[in-house]
Amino acid sequence: MKFGAHQSFYLRVNWLSKAIKMQDENPRFFFDDFAFEKIGLGRNMVKSLRYWIVATNVMEEGKDDNRQSIHQLTEFGKLVAVFDRFMRLPLTSVVLHYMLATNKEHATTWYWFFNEYNHRSSNNEDIHGALSEWVTQHHKRPVSANTLKRDLDCLKQMYTARAKIDNDPEEVVASPLSGIELIYDSREQFIKNSPGLERLDMDGLYFGLLHYCYIHQVDSVTLEEIQIKPQLWGKLFHLSSNQILEVLELFHADPSYPVSFVRTNQIYSLNLEVVDPYIFLQKAYERKAAY
Span 174-202, mean pLDDT? Answer: 93
Alpha helices in the chain (DSSP H): 15-25, 35-39, 43-55, 75-83, 90-101, 108-111, 124-138, 145-160, 202-216, 223-228, 233-236, 241-253, 277-290
Is it the case that residue 170 has pLDDT exceeding 70? no
Domain match, 93 and 206 both: no
Query: 59: which strand partners?
Result: 73
Asked if 225 and 175 sit in the same domain, the reply is: no
**Same-domain check for residues 138 and 253:** no
In a domain, 2, yes or no: no
Which of 158, 191, 224 is the last residue before a domain boundary?
191
Per the prediction, the chain carries an average pLDDT of 92
Q: Do 22 and 128 sit in the same domain of this protein?
A: yes
pLDDT at 169: 44
Residue 7 lies in a domain: no
233 falls within a domain: yes
Could you tell me if 233 and 227 are in contact, meaning their C-beta atoms sit under 8 angstroms apart? yes
pLDDT for the residue 275: 93
Q: What is the CATH number of the domain that holds 239?
A: 1.10.10.570
Query: Which of 36-40, 97-101, 175-179 bottoms out in mean pLDDT, i.e. has the lowest?
Result: 36-40
Q: Are residues 207 and 249 in the same domain?
A: yes
Same domain, 245 and 185: no
CB under 8 Å to 11, separation ≥6 — which residues? 49, 52, 56, 158, 175, 176, 177
Q: Are residues 176 and 221 in the same domain?
A: no
**Radius of gyration of the chain from Cα atoms?**
19
Distance CA 80, CA 84 (A): 5
Question: Above 50 in pLDDT, residue 260?
Answer: yes
pLDDT for position 73: 98
Asked whether the predicted pLDDT for residue 166 surpasses 70, the reply is: no
Q: Which residues have a Cβ under 8 Å from the Cβ of 120 and sit 6 or more positions away?
A: 191, 192, 238
**Domain of 239, in residue numbers:** 197-290
Is 1 within a domain? Answer: no
* Residue pair 208/221 in contact by the 8 Å Cβ criterion: no
One domain, residues 158 and 206: no
User: Looking at residue 65, what is its pLDDT?
Assistant: 84
Higher pLDDT, 268 or 112: 112
Say if CB 205 and CB 195 are below 8 A apart.
Answer: no
Q: Which pLDDT tens digit goes with each residue over 24-36?
A: 999 999 999 889 8
Task: State whether 175 and 204 are in the same domain.
Answer: no
Number of structural domains, the chain? 2
CB count within 10 Å of CB 128 equals: 18
If asked whether residues 80 and 164 sit together in one domain, one would say yes
